[in-house]
Structure 1
Amino acid sequence: MIFKPLFPEVLPLADQNVHDFLFNKPARTPDVDYPIHIDALTGVRRTRSEFIDRVRDGATALVAPLSSGGFEIGPNEHVGILSYNCLDYLALMHSLLVVTIPFALLSAYSTTPYEIAHAAKSAKVTRIFVEPSLLQVALQAAQEAGIPEERIHILNGIVKGRKSYAEAIDEVERCGVPRTPVKPADRNTFAYAVFSSGTTGAPKVVMLTHGNVCFSLVQGEMIAKEEPPLPKAMVILAPLPMSHTYGLGLIAFRGFRSPTSLIIFPKWDLELVLEVVPKFRVNGLYLRPSQLHELVHCKNLKKEHFVSVMVIGCGSAYLPPKLALTVQQAIRPGLPVVQGFGMSEIASIALRMLPPSAFGGRVPPDFNAVGLLVAGLEARIILADGSEGGVNEPGELWLRGANISPGYFGDEAATREAFAEGGWFKTGDHFRIDQHGRFYFVDRAKEIFKVADFQVSPTELEDVLRAQPDGLITDVAVAGVPVCSNGVDANEHIPRAWIVLSEKGKQRGGDAVMKLLDEWVRQKLTQYKWVTGGYEVVAQACVAGTLIQFTLGITDLVPGHIDSHVGRWEDVSQGPVGAICGAAGEGYINLRLRRDVVEGSSYLLCVRHARGNVLPMSGFGSKARHRHLWFI
Structure 2
Amino acid sequence: MYRSTLPDVVVPDVSVFDSLFGSLTDEDREKTALVDGPSGAETSYGDLAARIEAVAGALAARGIGVGDVVALHCPNSSGFVIAFHGILRAGATATTVNSLATVKDLESQLRASGAELLLTASPLLEAATTAARNVGLPDSAVIVLDGAEGHESLRDLLAAGAPAPDVSFEPAEHLAVLPYSSGTTGLPKGVMLTHRNLVANVEQARAMLGVGRDDVLLAVLPFFHIYGMTALLNLGLRERATLVTMPRFDLAEFLRLIEDHGVTYLFIAPPIGVALAKHPLVDTVDTSTVRHVLSGAAPLDEHLGRAIEARLGARMLQGYGMTEMSPVSHVTPFDRDDISPGSVGLAIPNVEFRLVDPATGEDVEVTDGVSAPGELWCRGPMVMTGYLNNPEATAETLTDDGWLKTGDVATVDADGVVHIVDRLKELIKYKGYQVAPSELESLLLEHPGIADAAVVGVLDDEGEEVPKAFVVAQPGTSTSDDEVLAFVAERVAPYKKVRVVEWVDAIPKSASGKILRKDLRAPAATA
Normalised by the shorter chain, which TM-score bucket? 0.7 to 0.9
Task: Report the Cα offset of residue 76 of structure 1.
Answer: 3.4
| 1:91 counterpart residue number | 82
SS in structure 2 of the partner of residue 240 of structure 1: coil
Per-residue CA deviation, residues 425-481 of structure 1 (Å, 9 max, x unaligned), is: 0000000111110001112103599xxxxxxxxxxxxxxxxxxxxxxxxxxxxx999
Please give the alpha-carbon distance, in whole angstroms, between the structure 1 residues aligned to 2:288 and 2:89: 39
Q: From the superposition, tell whether residues 343 and 30 of structure 1 become closer, same or farther in structure 2 (CA, over 3 Å).
A: farther
What is the SS of the residue equivalent to 1:396? strand
Residue type matched to 2:172 in 1? R
**Matches of 1:183 and 1:164, distance apart in 2:** 27
Distance in 2 (alpha carbons) for counterparts of 1:198 and 1:160: 34
Identify the residue that residue 504 of structure 2 maps to in structure 1: none
- Please name the residue that 1:53 is paired with: 50
**How does 1:568-587 map onto structure 2 within 5 Å?**
573=463, 580=464, 586=468
CA distance in 1, matches of 2:96, 2:19: 22
Return the offset for 1:328: 2.4
Q: Give the counterpart letter for 2:249 in structure 1.
A: W
When the two chains are superposed, the root-mean-square deviation of aligned CA atoms in Å is 3.0
Among 382, 391, 396, the alignment partner of 2:356 is: 382
Structure 1 counterpart of 2:105, which letter?
Answer: E
Q: Is the 8 A contact 1:199 1:448 kept in 2?
A: no
Distance 1:102 1:351 in 2: 27
Aligned counterpart, 1:21: 19
Corresponding residue for 2:343? 369
Whether the 8 Å contact between 2:9 and 2:349 is mirrored in structure 1 is: yes
How many Å separate the matches in 2 of 1:236 and 1:277?
Answer: 9
- Opposite residue 316 of structure 1, the aligned amino acid is A
Give the secondary-structure state (helix, strand or coil) at the position aligned to 1:426.
Answer: strand
1:125 corresponds to: 115
* Deviations 1:255-301, CA, capped at 9 Å, x for gaps: 11333111011111111112111111111111111012123322222
Q: CA deviation at 1:367?
A: 3.8
Partner of 2:281: 300
Are 2:256 and 2:285, in contact at CA under 8 Å, matched by a contact in 1?
no
Q: What amino acid sits opposite 2:154 in the alignment?
A: Y
CA contact (8 A) 1:200 1:447 kept: no
Say whether 1:492 aligns with 2:462.
no
Match of 1:399 among 378, 382, 387: 378
Look up the SS of the partner of 2:179 in the other structure. strand
SS of equivalent to 1:15: coil
Q: 1:559, CA displacement in angstroms? A: 4.1
Query: What are the Cα deviations for residues 114-154 of structure 1, in whole angstroms up to 9, with x where unaligned?
Result: 11111222222222111011111111112333323321111
Provide the rounded CA distance (Å) in 1 between the counterparts of 2:199 and 2:104: 34
Structure 2 stretches lacking a partner, 5+ long: 429-436, 471-492, 499-527
State how far apart, in whole Å, the 1-side matches of 2:403 and 2:4 are: 16
Q: Which of 1 and 2 has greater Rg?
A: 1
CA contact (8 A) 2:457 2:465 kept: no
2:171–2:195 Cα contact (<8 Å) kept: yes
The Cα of 1:313 is off from its aligned counterpart by: 1.1
439 and 178 in structure 1: CA distance in 2 versus 1, 3 angstrom threshold: closer
| Structure 1 residue 159 displacement after superposition | 1.2
Contact 1:199 1:428 survives alignment (8 Å): no
Counterpart secondary structure, 1:195: coil
Change (3 A) 1:398 1:232: closer
Query: 1:320, 1:491 within 8 Å by CA — same for their partners in 2?
Result: no
Q: What corresponds to 2:203 in structure 1? A: 218
- 1:189 is matched with 174
Q: List alignment gaps of at least 5 residues for structure 1.
A: 65-70, 359-363, 450-478, 494-548, 552-557, 561-570, 574-579, 589-614, 621-632
Residues 1:207 and 2:200 aligned together: no
Q: Distance in 2 between matches of 1:231 and 1:581?
A: 49
> Contact 1:346–1:405 (CA<8 Å) still a contact in 2?
yes
* From 33, 37, 42, the counterpart of 1:40: 37
Distance 1:135 1:409, change over 3 A: same
Q: Residue 71 of structure 2: SS of its match in structure 1?
A: strand
Residue matched to 1:540: none
Q: Secondary structure at the match of 1:305?
A: coil
User: Can you list the C-alpha shifts for 1:529-584, whole angstroms capped at 9, x where unaligned?
Assistant: xxxxxxxxxxxxxxxxxxxx769xxxxxx946xxxxxxxxxx6x5xxxxxx455xx
Letter in 2 for 1:82: H
Q: Which residue matches 2:509?
A: none
% identical equivalent positions: 25
CA distance in 2: counterparts of 1:252 and 1:235, whole angstroms = 12
The answer to whether the aligner puts 1:151 opposite 2:141 as a matched pair is yes
The answer to whether the 8 A contact 1:351-1:373 is kept is yes
Match in the other structure for 1:507: none
Report how far residue 353 of structure 1 moved: 0.9
Q: TM-score, normalised by structure 2?
A: 0.80
- Which of the numbers 250, 258, 265 marks the counterpart of 1:269? 250
Distance 1:249 1:85 in 2: 14
Pick the aligned partner of 2:391 from 412, 422, 440: 412
- Of 207, 214, 228, 1:247 maps to 228
Q: Secondary structure at the match of 2:354?
A: strand
SS across alignment from 2:2: coil
The aligned length equals: 460
Per-residue CA deviations over 1:409-436 (Å, capped at 9, x if unaligned) read: 1111111111112001000000011111
State the SS of the aligned residue for 1:300: helix
* Per-residue deviation, 1:198: 6.6
- Counterpart Cα distance in 2 of 1:135 and 1:241: 18
Give the whole-Å Cα distance in 2 for the aligned partners of 1:366 and 1:482. 19
**For residues 225-240 of structure 1, what are the structure 2 equivalents within 5 Å?**
227=210, 233-240=214-221
Aligned equivalents of 1:85, 1:298: Cα separation in 2? 24
User: What is the one-letter code of the residue matched to 1:354?
Assistant: P
Secondary structure at the residue paired with 2:178? strand
In structure 2, the residue matched to 1:627 is none
Say whether residues 1:258 and 2:255 are aligned partners.
no
For 2:48 and 2:54, the matched residues in 1 are separated by 10
Indicate the SS of the match to 1:204: coil
The TM-score normalised by the length of structure 1 is 0.67
SS of corresponding position for 1:196: coil
- Relative distance call for 1:487 and 1:122 in structure 2 (3 A) is farther
> Once structures 1 and 2 are overlaid, which stretch shifts more, 159-168 or 376-385?
159-168
> How far apart, in 2, do the equivalents of 1:20 and 1:244 lie?
22
The answer to whether residue 326 in structure 2 is matched with residue 327 in structure 1 is: no
Higher strand share goes to which structure? Answer: 1
Structure-2 separation of matches of 1:441 and 1:85: 29
Kept in 1, the 8 Å contact 2:71–2:95? The answer is yes
